[in-house]
Amino acid sequence: MTTAQQLSFDVQHSDAARTPAERERVLAAPGFGQTFTDHMISIDYTEGRGWHDARLMPYGPLTLDPATSVFHYAQELFEGLKAYRQAGGTIATFRPYANAARFNQSARRMAMPELPEDAFVESLELLVQTDRDWVPTTEGHSLYLRPFMIATQPALGVNYPSKTFKYMVIASPAAAYFSGGVKPVSVWLSQEYTRAAPGGTGFAKCGGNYAAAFVAQRQAVEQGCDQVVWLDAFEHRYVEEMGGMNLFFVFGDRLVTPDLTGTLLPGVTRDSILTMAADLGLTAEERKISTDEWREGCESGELTEVFACGTAAVITPVGSVKGAEGGWTVGDGTPGKLTLQLREELTGIQYGTRPDPHNWVHKIC
């Protein structure tokens, strides 16, 4: 349960922080998730005591007993959000309370303790304030924040979940997630593997979902595609999501996205796009969409654009589709007009160059 427990952070600065020149070298070409800032957050949890030992500390390795529960049973979850350097130098993040709420939704499914939302947001603020020089100034770049929680009890029994946990936040300067930027990606429809079934962990942002996805993602690459698209567990017919990202289908001025039935991730970007669509006078529907409707829509010209969305990927066009029975192109294979318009609108809000009518931007420093 989330408690109103007040946490105060002990602050220990790194005496081995990278020099400005070393940092600039990293920021010149940050890639994605490859280099980490000088500090990290750690908060421990013990059943019966609650959250304790909240710390900002130098970034570095952890020492864990080989029997630690997370190594064996993957009791783990994470979040992903970004800090943006806005016009005028302000550093802001985007809807961090939405991530905090999803973190706790994942925690409930994974039999892990909830972290008070304010502590979640404060931990991000403290890390970003401390490592603010790591927030890139290059247009389109950002500081990717990765809060996560692991089960730390050294025990092999599976009769009861871990009684101790560690929450952490690490931060990594990031360029575009896909090296092509807004270049359309090609996708492989996975009919052999299933990501999630009703009652499972599909809606939770837990590491196990991603571990189980690698084999299908590898197959997608072997098929010459960039990304895997997951289909429903029963018929392998209805679209669920792309590897770690939600999908939207554009029929003229109508957006369609798979509905949240418990098997796909309730993306914060997905939710923001649904709200922005209404602002832009577009109709948005959350419903099932089959691969047949996808293919037929593209063949008839009724389905004009498809895009993926997520914190890391922002909004990325999907240009072509391949499955066991052949493939097809979406539109003319180039980024669609609405895809680019929504991307500009969203990044404009995030980088502070467009109005923020829903107060999504959360200023940090």
> Measured from the CB of residue 210, what is the shortest distance to ligand COI in angstroms?
6
Q: In 10 A of CB 329, how many CB atoms? A: 14
The minimum distance between CB 1 and ligand COI, in angstroms, equals: 25
We find the least distance from the C-beta atom of residue 262 to ligand COI, in angstroms, to be 18
Tokens linked to 218:
């590898």
Q: What are phi and psi of 348, to 5 degrees?
A: -60, -40
Closest-by-Cβ residue to ligand COI is 80
Q: Which is nearer to ligand COI, 291 or 311 (CB)?
A: 311
Nearer to ligand COI, 201 or 304 (CB): 201
Residue position matching structure tokens 């052949």: 326
Measured from the CB atom, the residue of 306 and 312 that comes closer to ligand COI is 312
Long-range contacts from 292-300, C-beta under 8 angstroms, 24+ separation = 292/237, 294/239, 294/249, 294/321, 295/321, 295/328, 297/249, 297/251, 298/328, 298/329, 298/330, 298/331, 299/328
Cα distance between residue 252 and residue 302, in whole Å: 7
CA 11 to chain centroid, in Å, comes to 27
Q: Is the CB of residue 241 less than 8 Å from the CB of residue 265?
A: yes
Task: Closer to ligand COI by CB, 38 or 79: give it.
Answer: 79
75 vs 172, which CB is nearer to ligand COI? 172
Burial class, 191, CB count within 10 angstroms (exposed 0-12 / middle 13-18 / buried 19+) = middle
Minimum CB distance to ligand COI, residue 177 (Å): 6
Nearer to ligand COI, 37 or 311 (CB): 311
Our CB check for ligand COI shows the closer of 71 and 78 to be: 78
Q: Rounded to the nearest whole angstrom, what is the least distance from the CB of residue 95 to ligand COI in the complex?
A: 12
Min separation Cβ 292 and ligand COI, Å: 28
Among residues 80 and 331, whose Cβ is nearest to ligand COI? 80
Helices (H), the chain: 20-28, 69-73, 96-109, 117-130, 207-211, 214-222, 268-279, 291-300, 337-350
**Distance from C-alpha of 59 to C-alpha of 228, rounded to nearest angstrom:** 33
- DSSP string of 130-193? HTGGGS--STT-EEEEEEEEEE--B----SS--SEEEEEEEEEEE--SSTTTTSPEEEEEESS-
Q: 30 or 244, CB closer to ligand COI?
A: 244
Going by the DSSP 8-state scheme, the letter that residue 19 receives in this structure is: P
Task: Evaluate the CA torsion angle 344, 350, 351, 353 in order and state its sign.
Answer: positive
- CB of residue 310 to ligand COI, shortest distance in Å: 4
**Shortest distance, CB of residue 244 to ligand COI, whole angstroms?**
4
120 in helix, strand or coil? Answer: helix
Binding site for ligand COI (CB under 6 A): 80, 244, 310-312
DSSP state of 114: P
Question: Shortest distance, CB of residue 66 to ligand COI, whole angstroms?
Answer: 26
Judged by beta carbon, residue 75 or residue 246, the one nearer ligand COI is: 246
Minimum CB distance to ligand COI, residue 16 (Å)? 28
- In angstroms, the CA 64 to CA 69 distance is 10
Tell me the C-alpha distance between 261 and 4, whole Å. Answer: 31
